[in-house]
């Protein structure tokens, strides 16, 4: 990854950061919430991404396409959050105390949402990026392709495969063999 100029605590940097936060924080937050399913984790993802941006240099690919960079960061960091949460659950029972409260089984819609989130978390990050751009943010194939720098064909094929895998994962779940 190429490195661009290092930000300094001056007015241009402050103005630039403000502009970036104002323009992209909502998209980052929505993405994080869709993947993690709870506000505390989404808060953490948003904070972490923007702190990282301040703490480190602005990468060149960020400067050329801030939206794509931040969106990818939001997906990757959110996946990391829920995967590490699962690992912690297995490794350390104490961490369970800090995990989000379990959703009530009495609400079938909530149960479906949880199953869907768990299935999405098992997809490849690139597939998750495209899937959420389509179903949460409402982008067309062409818009996704443009934003992520891929061809429309790649987007369409990735979506097709992601849907097929989700279908399979959800079928497993509804059959009582939840692997997630």
**Interface residues toward other proteins, by CB under 8 A:** 7-11, 13-15, 17-18, 21-23, 25-27, 29-30, 33-35, 37, 39-44, 46-48, 50-51, 54-55, 81, 84-85, 98, 108-109, 111-113, 115-117, 131-132, 135-136, 142, 163-164, 166-167, 170-171, 174
Nearer to other proteins, 43 or 61 (CB): 43
Bin 109: left if φ > 0, else alpha if -120 < ψ < 50, else beta: alpha
CB 14 → other proteins: shortest distance, Å?
4
State the Cα–Cα distance between residues 18 and 49, nearest whole angstrom.
Answer: 14
Nearer to other proteins, 148 or 162 (CB): 162
CB 148 → other proteins: shortest distance, Å?
19
Instruction: Give Dmax over CA atoms of the chain in angstroms.
Output: 58
Residue of 175, 157, 170, 174 lying closest to 119 (CA atoms): 170
CB 86 → other proteins: shortest distance, Å?
12
In three state form, how does the secondary structure of 71-94 look? HHHHHHHHHHHHHHHHHHHHHCHH
Residue that is written with structure tokens 């297995």 in the block: 90
Residue of 1, 65, 71 lying closest to 34 (CA atoms): 71
Nearer to other proteins, 61 or 111 (CB): 111
Nearer to other proteins, 8 or 106 (CB): 8
Nearer to other proteins, 49 or 148 (CB): 49
DSSP string, 30-57: HHHHHHH-SHHHHHHHHHHHHHHHHHS-
Nearer to other proteins, 26 or 124 (CB): 26
CB 69 → other proteins: shortest distance, Å?
18
CB 3 → other proteins: shortest distance, Å?
16
Q: Residue 132: enclosing H or E segment and its boundaries?
A: helix 125-135
CB 144 → other proteins: shortest distance, Å?
14
């Amino acid at each position: 990854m190429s490195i661009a100029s290092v930000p300094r605590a001056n007015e241009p940097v402050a103005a630039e950061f403000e502009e970036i936060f104002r323009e992209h924080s909502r998209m980052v937050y929505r993405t994080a919430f869709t993947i993690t399913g709870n506000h505390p984790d989404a808060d953490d993802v948003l904070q972490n991404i923007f702190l990282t941006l301040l703490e480190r240099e602005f990468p060149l690919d960020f400067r050329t396409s801030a939206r794509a960079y931040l969106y990818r960061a939001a997906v990757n960091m959110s996946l990391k959050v829920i995967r590490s949460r699962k690992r912690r659950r297995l490794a350390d029972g104490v961490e369970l105390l800090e995990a989000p409260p379990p959703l009530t089984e009495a609400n079938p819609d909530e149960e479906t949402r949880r199953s869907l989130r768990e299935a999405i978390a098992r997809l490849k990050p690139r597939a998750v990026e495209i899937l959420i751009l389509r179903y949460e943010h409402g982008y067309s194939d062409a818009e996704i392709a443009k934003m992520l720098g891929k061809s429309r064909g790649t987007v369409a094929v990735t979506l097709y495969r992601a849907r097929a895998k989700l279908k399979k994962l959800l079928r497993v779940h509804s059959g009582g063999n939840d692997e997630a």
